Structure formats: structure tokens, C-alpha cells
Structure 1
Amino acid sequence: MLKLENVTRRFGDFAAVDNVTVTIPQGQMVGVIGRSGAGKSTLLRMLNRLIDPSGGVIRFNEVQVSSLQGAELRRWQRDCAMIFQQFNLVPRLNVLTNVLLGRLNHRSTMLNLVGSWSREERAMGIMALERLGIAQTALQRAGTLSGGQQQRVAIARALMQQPKMLLADEPIASLDPLNAQIVMDSLKSINREEGITVVTNLHTLDTARTYCERVIGMAAGRVVFDGPANELTRDAVRMIYGADGDELSEEITSTSLGQPDGGREESLGPLEPAA
């Protein structure tokens, strides 16, 4: 279980994340939504300890994540894998080698220096690529792949870490709707089949509705909604997106993704007013 208690991150006088308290049970798929600048990426980067909180405590089970240092911090970053919007692959290396880089924190420094991969590790890498439907690209340079393929390589690399939690920072923001659906289908499959907690930042409400059992809405660094997507009222969406009345349209809340189980495409439809 992941617990955030009064977590804050300041940049000078500006609070990018402001006094957030959230508990996420193991195995949930959580979508964090909000406009650009709402604090979503800062929140995920604190969970992975790419940046440190200015205040508050982050715990995972009995481990106080927010105070980890050295080898213990590296172990946490292995257990809490991160997927980035811009993929963070090494373009000149082939796809399989990029995937194998996910094993670095499982290996000795000497093995990492000589760049030697075992037969078992290579088999794991191929299996991860097969799971993402791109095993045929294993020997291609990563830089030759499409954006959607590169993001699937990044997910395969994260799986090689054998993580307990998967963080995805705007994983579909730079993808077309078809590739966005493939990537979100992959994350949902991992969550369902492996029981791995997935926390993903998303710009759009419809994607969160389609794929996430729980939605956390952020605005100005604060959590303004936390609950099932079907409990989002028009007033809640207005708080999250900062829109007034007529501005609540598909343009701010939709990427035209279809259903994850291959069903027909579904729009948001009318949002019910708050009771």
C-alpha cells in the first residue's frame, strides 16, 4: 500500500504540489487527471524520488520512501518503475538492448560495466517484447520505431525491473489515438494480469473513465477529486479543469479512445450536475 501524508513540493514560493494526502492499495489502476501545470508530473516524480518532497511523508508498506538514500533508494526506484512521455530510450541501441537496461538495478556493477547479458535475461527481454506485441523489432535500432512502438519498448523495459508499482507520466500525450489505445490497453493488461499497481497521469477524462478504476483530479497542486470515475459530476470536472459552463466540451476531456475490450468508441455524454 502506498500512502502520501501531507506531501508538498515547493519551487521557491510556488507550491507545485500542495499538502496532498492519498492512500493507494496494491493492485489499483489510478488515473491522475488535470490541466497542464496542475502538479501531476511533480507528484509522480516525487513517488519515484526523482525529486524530493519539500514536506510530508511518502510510505510504501513499512518503508518510508521519502527518506531513502543510496542503495535503498536505488532499490525503490527498481521496484517503482517509471514510464515517461518522451520514452527515454537510447536511439542508437537496438530494441532488445534498451529493454535489457531495465535489469541494471538487479545486476552487479561489474556485469553492467562489461555489458554482458545472460541467456535468461535475453529470454526475459524477448518475452516482454512479445507481451507488448513488438518482438519482431528486437534487433532494430530504437530510433527507427514509431512513437507508439517506442512507448511499448519503454513499458517492456519497465517490466524487466519486475516492479511492484508502475508510474506512467503522460504516456500517451504525444501519440495518435490508435497508438494511445494500444499503450493504455497494455498498461491495463499488466495491471489486471500481474496485479501491479499502475498510477498514470492523463490529460483527458475519457481515457481515465475507460481504463482506470479510480480517478484523482488535481488543480493548482491540490487534490480536488478522488473516487470512481462514474462519480465525477459536472461540478467536479469544472474544479479539475477550471472550465466554466459551456467550456466543458470534448475538446478538453476527450482523446476519442475506444473501449479497452474492443467495444465501440464512446463519448463522455452529459455530465450529471451535482446533487
Structure 2
Amino acid sequence: MLELKNVTRRFGPNTAVDNVDFAIPEGQMVGVIGASGAGKSTLLRMINRLIDTSEGEINFGGVRTSALKGQQLRNWQRDCAMIFQQFNLVPRIDVLTNVMLGRLNHRSTVASLLNIFSDEERAMAIAALERLGIEKVALQRAGTLSGGQQQRVAIARALMQQPKVILADEPIASLDPRNAQIVMQSLKDINQSDGITVITNLHTLDTARSFCERIIGMQAGRVVFDGGPDDLTEDAARKIYGADNLEDAFSEAVTSTSLNGSRSKSSGSERPPVARPAAEQNPVYA
């Protein structure tokens, strides 16, 4: 169980997240939606401890993660993997090595400094790439890949951490609709197959409805909606986005569901890869 209790974050006189209070059971897939500046990214960064809370506390499994320091903090950031909008790969090195970098918090300092990876770690990385349907690019430099491929590499790297929670900060914001669907389906398959809690920031309502079992809506740093996809009515959208921003809330220009009416017309449509359970991939996952 991940619990946020009266969590607030201030930057000088500005309050980015204001008294947020909710709990997420293990294995749930949650979409956090809201307009730009609603506090979504700040919220995820506090959960991962990239930034600290100003007030309140964050707990996971009975441990107050918002107070961890040193090795215990590094262990939490290993268990709580983060996927970013801009991928955060090393473009000049190959895909396989980028994926293996997800093992750094599992390894000794000396091995990390020498960039020494075991055969088992290489097998894990290849299995993760196979799981996401991109094993054929394993030896290419990461910078040569498309945006959708790079985001799947980032997901594979997160899987290498063997996390308990995956946080995805606007993972499809810079992708075209086809790749957006592939990335979101990959996250959903991992959530369902492995039982990993997934919390993802999203911009539009339709993507959240399509892929998330629970949706949290934020407006001006506060949680103003918390419910299932069927509860996300136009009235709820007005509360989250405001009447003046409803067009953006329902815009599907960069979301997966804009494919629904056009996939059959496209001669180059690609079926999203299915992220199979880890145990079916490679013995090192069992």
C-alpha cells in the first residue's frame, strides 16, 4: 500500500501540491490527470524522492519513505522506478547497456564504476527487450531510435530494477498516437502480468479512461477527483480542467485512442507488443 498523508510541496511562495491525501493498493494502475501546472509531476517526484515534501508524509508498506536517507533512500528509489517524458537514456551507448543501467542500485560500487555486467544481467536485459518487442535494436545506439522505441527502452530499464512501483511522468506526451498506444499498452500489460503498481501522469481524459482502473484528477495542486473511468463525466472534467480548458482535456492529438477510427485504414498499422509475465520470458526472472 502506498499512502500519501496531507502531502504539500512549496517552491518559495508558490504551492505546487496542496494537502494531498490518498492511498493506492498494491497492483493498481492509476492515472493522474490535470492541466499543465496542476502538480502532477511534482507529486510523482515526491513519491520517488527526487524532491522532498514540504509537509506531510509518504509511506509504502508501513515504511515512511519521505524520511529515508542514505542507502535506505537508494533502496526505495530502486524499488520505485521512474520513467520520464524525455526518456533519459544515454544516446551514444547501445540499447542493451542502457537497459542494464537499471541494475546499478543492485550492484557494488566497484562493479558500477567499472561498468561490469554479469551474464545474468545481460540475459535479464535481453528478456526485458524481448518483452517489449524491441530486442532487434539491442546493439543500436539509443540515440538512433524513434521516440516510441526509446520509451520502451526506458520501460525495459525500469523493469531491470525489479521494482514494486513504476511511476511514469507523461510517458506519451512526446509520442505519435501509434507509439502512444504501444507504450500505454506495455505499461498496462506489465501491471496486469506482474502485479506491479503503476502510477502514470496523463494529459487527456480518454487515455486515462482506456488504460487506468483508477483516475485521480488534480487542479491547482489539489486532488479534486478520485474514481473509476465511468465516473469521469464531463462535469468531473470541468472540475479538473476548468470550463476554458475542456478542449485540451478531450484533445486526442497525441493519445492512443485517436487510432481507434483510423487503424483499419492504415496500411502500416502495428499491433502493440504484449508484455508477457516475467516467468515466461527467461529463468532469471522466476
TM-score (norm 2): 0.88
TM superposition shift of 1:265: 4.6
Q: Read off the aligned partner of 1:163 and give its amino acid letter.
A: P
Query: What are the equivalent positions in structure 2 for 1:76-115 lying under 5 Å apart?
Result: 76-115=76-115
TM superposition shift of 1:114: 1.1
Counterpart among 246, 249, 273 of residue 248 in structure 1 = 246
Mapped partners of 1:128, 1:193: distance in 2? 13
Alignment match, 1:123? 123
Deviations along 1:140-185, whole A, 9 cap, x unmatched? 0000000000000000000000000000000000000000000001
> For structure 2, which runs of at least 5 residues remain unmatched after alignment?
263-286
Q: Read off the aligned partner of 1:132 and give its amino acid letter.
A: L
Mapped partners of 2:212, 2:78: distance in 1? 24
TM superposition shift of 1:232: 1.7
Query: What are the equivalent positions in structure 2 for 1:58-207 lying under 5 Å apart?
Result: 58-207=58-207
TM superposition shift of 1:92: 0.4
SS of equivalent to 2:17: strand
Mapped partners of 2:181, 2:214: distance in 1? 18
Alignment match, 1:257? 256
Misfit runs of 4+, over 4 Å: 263-266
SS of equivalent to 1:254: coil
Alignment match, 1:238? 238
**1:148–1:179 CA contact under 8 A, matched in 2:** yes
Query: What are the equivalent positions in structure 2 for 1:215-234 lying under 5 Å apart?
Result: 215-234=215-234
> For structure 1, which runs of at least 5 residues remain unmatched after alignment?
267-275
Q: Read off the aligned partner of 1:257 and give its amino acid letter.
A: S
TM superposition shift of 1:257: 2.2
SS of equivalent to 1:116: coil
Q: Read off the aligned partner of 1:225 and give its amino acid letter.
A: F
Identical counterparts, % of pairs? 72
Aligned residues: 260
Mapped partners of 2:150, 2:98: distance in 1? 10
**2:168–2:200 CA contact under 8 A, matched in 1:** yes
Let me know the Cα RMSD of the aligned residues.
1.4
TM superposition shift of 1:75: 0.1
SS of equivalent to 2:257: coil
TM superposition shift of 1:264: 4.3
Mapped partners of 1:41, 1:15: distance in 2? 13
Q: Read off the aligned partner of 2:251 and give its amino acid letter.
A: S
TM-score (norm 1): 0.92
Deviations along 1:212-232, whole A, 9 cap, x unmatched? 000000000000000101112
Mapped partners of 1:76, 1:84: distance in 2? 17
Change (3 A) 1:120 1:164: same
**1:48–1:80 CA contact under 8 A, matched in 2:** yes
Deviations along 1:85-119, whole A, 9 cap, x unmatched? 00000000100000000000000011111111111
SS of equivalent to 2:243: coil
SS of equivalent to 1:248: helix
Mapped partners of 1:3, 1:265: distance in 2? 39
**2:20–2:222 CA contact under 8 A, matched in 1:** yes
**2:179–2:256 CA contact under 8 A, matched in 1:** no
**1:10–1:17 CA contact under 8 A, matched in 2:** yes
**2:237–2:249 CA contact under 8 A, matched in 1:** no
